[in-house]
Amino acid sequence: MQPTLHDIARETNTSVSTVSRVLTGGASAARIGQATRLRVIDAAHRLGYRPNLVARSLRTRRSNTVALLVSDIANPWFGQMASLIEQSLRHHGYSLMLCNSGEDAQLELEHLQLLPSKGIDGLIVVPVLCTKNALTEVLPADLPLVILDRPIPGILASVSSDQEQAATILCDTLQRVGVERIAVVCGPQHIVTHRRRNELVSARFDVIARHEGPAQRDTGRQAYIKFLQIQPDAIVCTNNYLGQGVIDALVEADNPPTIGCFDEIAMMDLLPIPIICSVQDVPLLAESCVRQLLPQLKGEEIKAEALVLPTRAVANRHFQSLLLARTQPA
C-alpha cells in the first residue's frame, strides 16, 4: 500500500496539512519551520511517498493533463503529430493523454462523453463526425478545446491546413505535366478534409473514376485494381494512407500513372513513378495547436482565431524530370 500524507504525518509527529504544505512546495511551503520541513521531506523520501494524483485532482479540479483524441493513431501522420504535441505540452507543464477514435464516429462519441469526467484540463480533438452542436452538447462549455486538422464551422479555436491552397498547388503542378484525366481515391466524404480535397480536385480535372472507402491502405489497393482498365493520366489520393495503398498495388503496372497525394509519401524519391505531394507543416500545426490551447487553460478569455496554415508541394525525382522535360522541350 502506497504511503499517504497521513502516514508521513504520523511518522514525523506533524499533521496532514503541514505535510501537504511542505510537499506541494509552493508559497505555503516557505512558511514552514526549517526543522519540521526537513523532517517531513526526509520521511517522505524514506517512505517513498508519491502524491495520489487522483485525490489531488478531485480536490483541486486540475490534473495538468490534456487529452488528444486522434482519429487514427495507426496513421503515422497522427503519430508524428501526437509526438510533437506531447513534447510541446510537456514543456508547458502538462502531460498528454492520447486517445484514439479509429475513425469511428460511435467510438469518438463515447470518448467525448467519457473524457471530461476523467478530469482532464483541456482537449484537442481531430473530429470524425461531430458537428458543433454535437460537441457543445456533450462537452462542458468551459472545457478548453482545440479542433485539429478538420475545422468545424463555428468553432474558433482550431488549427488546420488550407485545403484550397493545398489542392491548388497540387492541381497546378499536375497540370504542368499535362495531366487531364484523373482517377480519385478518397476517404469517407463525411470527413471534411477528404470531402473538400475531393471537391476541389474534381473541380479542376476531368474525373473519369472515383473510389471511396475508409482511409486505410487497403482502400488504396482496391481503388487501383478498379482503375486498372481506365488508364487515367494520374491518380489523386486524399491522404497519405490511401496513397501508400495505391502505390503498394502498383507493382504490376507497365505504364504506371502519376500519383498526386495530400500529405507525404515516404521514400518517394526512390519510387519509379512520378509523385507530387501537397504536404502539411506538421510541427507548425502541433505547435499552433498548443498555442491555441494554453491561454484557454490559463483561463484567459482570448478569442482564438481559427488558424489555417499553408502547405507546400513536394515532387519526387521522377516527377521533377517530367517537369523538366515539359519546360525544356529538346
State yes or no: residue 140 binds DNA (CB under 7 A): no
- State how far the Cα of 151 lies from the Cα of 4, in Å rounded to an integer: 45
**Interacting stretch for a second copy, rule CB under 8 A, among 30-38, 73-81, 285-293, 294-302?**
73-81
> What distance separates the 2 farthest-apart alpha carbons in the chain?
92
| Helices 5-12 & 16-24 angle (0-180, nearest 10) | 110
* Among the listed residues 4, 20, 83, 222, the single contact to a second copy using CB under 8 A: 83
* Among the listed residues 4, 20, 36, 87, the single contact to a second copy using CB under 8 A: 87
- State how far the Cα of 196 lies from the Cα of 188, in Å rounded to an integer: 11
Restricted to residues 178-207, the positions that interact with a second copy (CB under 8 A) are none
Grid coordinates belonging to 33: 519551520
DSSP structure string for 189-242: TTSHHHHHHHHHHHHHSEEEEEEE--SSHHHHHHHHHHHTTT--SEEEESSHHH
* Closest distance of CB 114 from a second copy, Å: 7
Q: How many residues bind DNA (CB under 7 A)?
A: 31
- State how far the Cα of 10 lies from the Cα of 88, in Å rounded to an integer: 40
Dihedrals phi, psi of 252, to nearest 5 degrees: -75, -15
Restricted to residues 1-20, the positions that interact with DNA (CB under 7 A) are 1-2, 4-6, 13-18, 20
Q: Which does 189 bind (CB under 5 to 8 A by kind): DNA, a second copy, none?
A: none
DSSP structure string for 245-300: HHHHHGGG-SSPPEEEEES--TTGGGSSS-EEEEE--HHHHHHHHHHHHHHHHTT-
Identify which of residues 204 and 317 has a Cβ nearer to a second copy in the complex: 317
**156 SS3 class:** coil
Dihedrals phi, psi of 210, to nearest 5 degrees: -145, 140
Q: Which does 213 bind (CB under 5 to 8 A by kind): a second copy, DNA, none?
A: none
State yes or no: residue 57 binds a second copy (CB under 8 A): yes
Identify which of residues 57 and 165 has a Cβ nearer to a second copy in the complex: 57
* Closest distance of CB 34 from a second copy, Å: 27
- Sequence-ordered list of residues with C-beta below 8 angstroms from that of 291, at least 6 positions apart, any chain: none
State yes or no: residue 113 binds DNA (CB under 7 A): no
- State how far the Cα of 259 lies from the Cα of 184, in Å rounded to an integer: 10
Restricted to residues 120-159, the positions that interact with a second copy (CB under 8 A) are 140
Q: Which stretch of DSSP H or E encloses residue 174?
A: helix 163-176
Q: Which does 14 bind (CB under 5 to 8 A by kind): DNA, a second copy, none?
A: DNA
* Among the listed residues 24, 131, 133, 189, the single contact to DNA using CB under 7 A: 24
Restricted to residues 28-57, the positions that interact with DNA (CB under 7 A) are 28, 31-33, 35-37, 49-52, 55-56
- State how far the Cα of 285 lies from the Cα of 308, in Å rounded to an integer: 9
Cβ–Cβ under 8 Å, residues 70 and 126: yes
* Among the listed residues 27, 30, 35, 267, the single contact to a second copy using CB under 8 A: 267
State yes or no: residue 58 binds a second copy (CB under 8 A): yes
In the complex, which residues of this chain contact a second copy (CB under 8 A)?
2, 50-55, 57-58, 63, 72-76, 78-80, 82-83, 86-87, 90, 95-100, 102, 107, 113-114, 116-119, 140, 244, 247-248, 250-251, 266-267, 269-273, 317
Question: Where on the chain is the footprint of DNA (CB under 7 A)?
Answer: 1-2, 4-6, 13-18, 20-21, 23-24, 28, 31-33, 35-37, 49-52, 55-56, 58-60
